Amino acid sequence: MILKSKLSKTAYPIADPDKWVTGDKADIDPVVLGRIAYLGKVHGTVIVITQGGGFRSFEEQTRMYNLYKAGKLQATAAKPGTSRHESGLALDSSTPIYRNMTSKELMKYGLHKPIKNEPWHGEPVETAGKSLTAIKNQLAPEDLTSQMKKKFGLSGVTTDYIAAYKYAEDLAAGLLAGRKDFAAETMKYLYSYKYWESLREKLGL
Ligand SMILES: [Zn+2]
């Protein structure tokens, strides 16, 4: 997915998640990933997101919940619709440098641990004191992939191609806003797409 974060990119330092975060990090809010990446960079440690400890769609949460109900899951799982991981803002990691930090220590990185007895579960500080409904409505990242599919009639193959671009978020946000004046580097990336001719037509470029 191409995600547009609603969190401040400048309130806390950010590092490159491609370098400092690994594991189940797909579709976690890009600013949250940037903040945890910075924590990793400061300590010279790659942060590993636990399998199943990143973003969970409603369907994924349902699958986990059913496994839990059937006694096939070691951990507990929240009812679909009620997991903080469905917001795309939560992450679980057992990388020691992170896991051993208190919620207070984590705050200087723009993160905190809102759940007592879950030292692996982290979220951006902006979620503090907010209900899950408020978090989902006000803070969860925007899904630009769905918007691109809807507005331009793009296929999953095409949105996956765009999502792989380094500046995918800016590109998608620009296209959705009707921009046509992209940098040469960005245009070069689009030209190199196998189905560029059909994409150009759809985007009106
Ligand atoms: Zn968690």
DSSP 120-179: TEEEEGGGTT--HHHIIIIISPEEHHHHHHHHH---HHHHHHHHTSTTHHHHHHHHHTT-
Question: How crowded is residue 132: how many other Cβ atoms within 10 Å of its Cβ?
Answer: 16
What's the gap in Å between 198 CA and the centre of ligand 1?
Answer: 41
Sign of CA dihedral 22, 25, 26, 29: negative
Q: What is the pLDDT of residue 74?
A: 81
What pLDDT was estimated at residue 76?
Answer: 82
Q: Which residues contact 11 (CB under 8 A, 6 or more apart)?
A: 110
pLDDT at 103: 97
Residue 114 structure tokens:
């809102």
Question: How does DSSP classify residue 205?
Answer: -
| pLDDT value, residue 173 | 95
pLDDT at 75: 78
pLDDT of residue 139: 98
For ligand 1, a single-atom ion, which residues have Cβ within 5 Å? 92, 121
* Ordered mean pLDDT values, 10 residues apiece, the chain (205 residues): 95 97 96 98 98 93 94 88 95 97 97 95 97 95 96 96 93 96 96 96 93
Q: Residues 20, 22, 25, 4: is their CA dihedral positive or negative?
A: positive
CA of 120 to the centre of ligand 1 (A): 7
CA of 17 to the centre of ligand 1 (A): 19
List Cβ neighbours of 183 (8 Å cut-off, separation of 6 or more): none
The whole-number pLDDT of residue 58 equals 93
Instruction: Give residue 5's Cα distance to chain centre.
Output: 8
CA of 26 to the centre of ligand 1 (A): 15
User: How much distance in Å is there from the Cα of 165 to the middle of ligand 1?
Assistant: 28
Between the CA of 23 and the centroid of ligand 1 the distance, in Å, is 14
Distance 148 CA to ligand 1 centre (A): 29
The predicted pLDDT at position 87 comes to 95
d(CA 91, ligand 1 centre) in Å: 6
Q: What's the gap in Å between 202 CA and the centre of ligand 1?
A: 39
What's phi and psi for 65, nearest 5 deg? -65, -40
DSSP 70: T
